[in-house]
């Protein structure tokens, strides 16, 4: 297992700068008042394909040598990693193969295809996904870019908190959602060197709290069929992300579905940005634990903005 | 009638800079491809109170001498001007009285009150509004700040396109919605001097097309009970805004309700910002008249972001 280093993150930033946005950091006097903290929101939903995952994906794609690049990349994902990897591959002009369950939302498939990704459908089971992916990879020779458990991906995600610290003149803590742990691991990687005094806080849905329970137990515990509105956070930690989570994260907080939906609506209304339910988990945790954040300079990563505008969670009951 | 000058706009910018945001300009490769133009979006929805009107309101409020400031300001509005004037007055620590129909949405009243504005309710008729406003003004001595037909307000709104030109290294045209004409007049005021070659295009709902008809007729024509989803654009032109519209606007385009709603959803989805229906009218007009914009550097002002998240227009039928 290769552990990416701070230098890998710096190299990633130079490599991907022409292909990503240095996203805006937004603030709101109202949200500061509401939380009692000084909040800074890093708007990764403003990346062209709508998520921070374009950083790690671009680092993997643009780091390939020409021989491998000719064969392209491959992954399995039905979320932002699939569209971001397709987007990065399109920018380099190389193939991207994606294995996706046939039950994935049409909008997700459309986005991958808009960026030139080639989808191979599988059944919605781990065994079918693994078998189908093995076939695709054997046929294409595409380099496997895991959504998070890949040192190139983690080094890429780490570039976000480097920009964040530059744009804010420093923070007391950074709060980001945790699913597989790619963003949190990149944040740990960068801040451990750049700002070791800055705390890294992970935020997780109660209904998919495997990282929370793993953190408390001291070893990886997988969820049994997690179900949450924060659908970007369903996947489990893996060895590489566990290395960073167990070694550098200060605390993991959890929030209920109702708290996540409330926080999502508050940010839409007052920060006026469109973001996914997964991105609302940090704000939900900040509002739920005011004593932990009061008076602090708190950076919150808004991880993505790809949401079905026809199915907003606060309107689900109507 | 005092016509504000370019120097008034420059003075306004110096005056209000500490009290407003230099809002971000966002771009989207996808929206460029969709429109065939190079689009730049000035996100005035990101102002703290959520609309460009904080510029004009702040210029009026911070331009008062101390004696008048002690008596505060007053206006009649049920929209963004009321909340932005309250916000500006709160920042200076002076009273703001607002006359508002009792039928105005509760959310609008709540926002004004959050910023310390004092609401006096009237019946939803012009006569009741005028009578009630006269009483309030007589009782308080508050300085009347009209939502748009005021040289201080127009000079303030003009600061938006000054920033816009600085942030984009120049534009071929600026497109903004037109209701009473405050933003469009400020845009004309600034660009006539700063970038006379830059066209100023107004965008208006078909169902409230008084500015379009006035522009074609060469004199002000009022609407008869206009009704549109773009509820920030219901008010008529007045003498001061007509001066700018008739003298400097290049063209006025109109869009149907369905086109406005489509454009709104497209911007929410791909630019990932929360904005009002009124702010979608320029994009609707750009998509409807591609030949007028193709290949051009087009600036679009996203005028405001205060929208009822429980009643999104594309979900109205569901």
Q: What is the pLDDT of residues B180-222, one digit of tens each?
A: 999 999 999 999 999 999 999 999 999 999 999 999 999 999 8
Q: Give me the pLDDT at residue A317, please.
A: 55
Q: How many helices (H) and strands (E) does chain B have?
A: 14, 10
**DSSP state string for B272-316:** -B---GGGGHHHHHHHH-HHHHTTSEEEEEE-B----TTS-GGGT
CB < 8 Å to A265, chain B: 309
Quick count: other Cβ atoms within 10 Å of Cβ B169?
8
- Residue contact B30–A48, C-beta within 8 A: yes
Report how far residue A182's alpha carbon sits from residue A245's, in angstroms, rounded to the nearest whole number: 10
- The size of the A-B interface in CB pairs under 8 A is 52
Cα B173–chain centre separation: 18
What's the rounded Cα separation, in Å, for the pair B15 and B10?
9
Cβ count near B313 (within 10 Å): 19
Residue of A182, A209, A192 whose CA lies nearest to A304: A182
Cβ neighbourhood burial of A5 (10 Å; 0-12, 13-18, 19+): middle
Query: Does residue B108 surpass a pLDDT of 90?
Result: no
**Residues of A contacting chain B (CB within 8 angstroms):** 24, 26, 28-30, 45-46, 48, 50, 265, 268-269, 272-275, 305, 309-310, 312, 314-315, 318
With cut-offs at 50, 70 and 90, classify the pLDDT of residue B149.
very high
- Give the residue numbers in B contacting A (CB under 8 Å), as ranges: 24, 26, 28-30, 45-46, 48, 50, 265, 268-269, 272-275, 305, 309-310, 312, 314-315, 318
C-alpha to C-alpha distance for B25 and B44, rounded to whole angstroms: 9
Distance from CA of A196 to the nearest CA of B (A): 31
- Please list the alpha-helical segments (H only) found in A25-79: 29-35, 53-62, 66-71
DSSP A118-139: EEEEE-SSHHHHHHHHHHHHHH
Distance, CA of B34 to CA of B29 (rounded, Å): 9
What pLDDT is stored for residue B124 in this prediction? 87
CA distance B145 to chain A (A): 25
Tell me if domain B6-51+150-315 and domain B54-144 are identical in fold: yes
φ/ψ of B301, rounded to 5, equals -90, 115
How many Cβ atoms from other residues are within 10 Å of residue A188's Cβ?
26
> What are the two backbone dihedrals, phi and then psi, of residue A150, each rounded to the nearest 5 degrees?
-145, 125
8 Å CB contact of B29 and A48:
yes
Tokens 């020409």 map to which residue? Answer: A66
Distance between CA atoms of A133 and B270, rounded to whole angstroms? 30
Q: Hey, is A203 helix, strand or coil?
A: strand
Q: Where are the domains of chain A?
A: 6-51+151-315, 54-144
Q: How far is B135 from chain A (nearest CA, A)?
A: 33
Q: For residue A74, what is the enclosing H or E element?
A: strand A73-76
Q: What is the mean pLDDT of each run of 10 residues along chain A (318 residues)?
A: 97 98 97 98 98 98 98 94 98 97 88 96 91 96 97 98 96 97 98 98 97 97 88 93 98 98 98 97 98 98 95 80
| Interchain pair B312, A314: CB under 8 A | no
Confidence of residue B318 (pLDDT cuts 50, 70, 90): very low
Look up the CATH architecture of domain B54-144.
3-Layer(aba) Sandwich (3.40)
Q: Measured between CB atoms, which of B24, B30, B318 is closest to A24?
A: B24
Q: Which residues of B fall within a CB distance of 8 Å from A30?
A: 48
Contact (CB<8Å) A30/B50: no
Q: Which of B46, B268, B309 has the CB atom closest to A26's CB atom?
A: B46
Cβ burial B129-141 (10 Å sphere, 16+ → b, else e): beebbeebbeebe
Distance of CA B103 to the CA centre of its chain: 22
Q: Where does A6-51+151-315 sit in CATH, by number? A: 3.40.50.1100
In this structure, what token pair is assigned to residue B199? 């066209």
Can you tell me the mean pLDDT for B35-52? 98
Q: Are B244 and B188 in contact (CB under 8 A)?
A: yes
Map residue B198 onto helix, strand or coil. Answer: coil
**Which CA distances in Å does B84 have to A27, A205, A217, B96, B111?**
18, 36, 51, 10, 9
Distance between B73 CA and the closest CA of chain A, angstroms: 23
What pLDDT, on the 0 to 100 scale, is given for residue A318? Answer: 46
Backbone dihedral region for residue A116 (phi beyond 0: left; psi -120 to 50: alpha; all else: beta): left
Residues of A in contact with B45 (CB under 8 A): 272
Please tell me the distance in Å from A48's CA to the nearest CA on chain B. Answer: 6
Distance from CA of B208 to the nearest CA of A (A): 26
Using alpha carbons, list the distances in angstroms from residue A129 to A101, A108, A120, A123, A135: 7, 17, 10, 7, 10
**Angle, vertex CA B236, rays to CA B231 and CA B241, nearest 5:** 115
Contact check, Cβ <8 Å, A268/B309: yes
B6-51+150-315: in CATH 3.40.50.1100: yes
Mean pLDDT of B59-78: 96
B48 contacts A29? CB cut-off 8 A? yes
Strand partners, A273: B273
């Amino acid at each position: 297992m290769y552990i990416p280093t701070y230098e890998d993150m710096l190299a990633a930033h130079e490599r991907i700068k022409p292909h990503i946005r240095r996203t805006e950091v937004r603030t709101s006097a109202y949200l500061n008042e509401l939380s009692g903290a000084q909040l800074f929101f890093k708007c990764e939903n403003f990346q062209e394909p709508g998520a921070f995952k374009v950083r790690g994906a671009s680092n993997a794609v643009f780091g390939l040598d020409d021989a491998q690049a000719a064969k392209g990349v491959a992954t399995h994902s039905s979320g932002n990693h699939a569209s971001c990897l397709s987007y990065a591959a399109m920018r380099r002009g190389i193939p991207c193969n994606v294995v996706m369950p046939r039950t994935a939302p049409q909008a997700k498939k459309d986005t991958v295809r808009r960026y030139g990704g080639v989808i191979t459908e599988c059944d919605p089971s781990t065994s079918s996904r693994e078998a189908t992916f093995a076939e695709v990879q054997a046929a294409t020779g595409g380099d496997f870019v895991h959504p998070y458990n890949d040192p190139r991906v983690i080094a890429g995600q780490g570039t976000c908190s480097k920009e964040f610290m530059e744009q804010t003149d420093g923070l007391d803590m950074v709060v980001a959602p945790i699913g597989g742990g790619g963003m949190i691991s990149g944040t740990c990687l960068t801040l451990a060197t750049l700002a070791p005094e800055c705390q890294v806080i992970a935020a997780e849905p109660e209904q998919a709290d495997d990282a929370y329970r793993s953190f408390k137990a001291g070893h990886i515990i997988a969820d049994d069929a997690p179900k949450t509105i924060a659908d970007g956070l369903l996947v489990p930690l893996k060895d590489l992300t566990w290395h960073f989570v167990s070694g550098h994260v200060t605390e993991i907080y959890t929030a209920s579905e109702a708290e996540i939906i409330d926080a999502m609506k508050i940010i839409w209304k007052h920060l006026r940005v469109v973001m996914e339910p997964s991105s609302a988990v940090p704000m939900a945790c900040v509002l739920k634990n005011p004593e932990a954040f009061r008076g602090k300079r708190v950076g919150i990563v808004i991880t993505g903005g790809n949401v079905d505008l026809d199915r907003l969670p606060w309107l689900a009951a109507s």
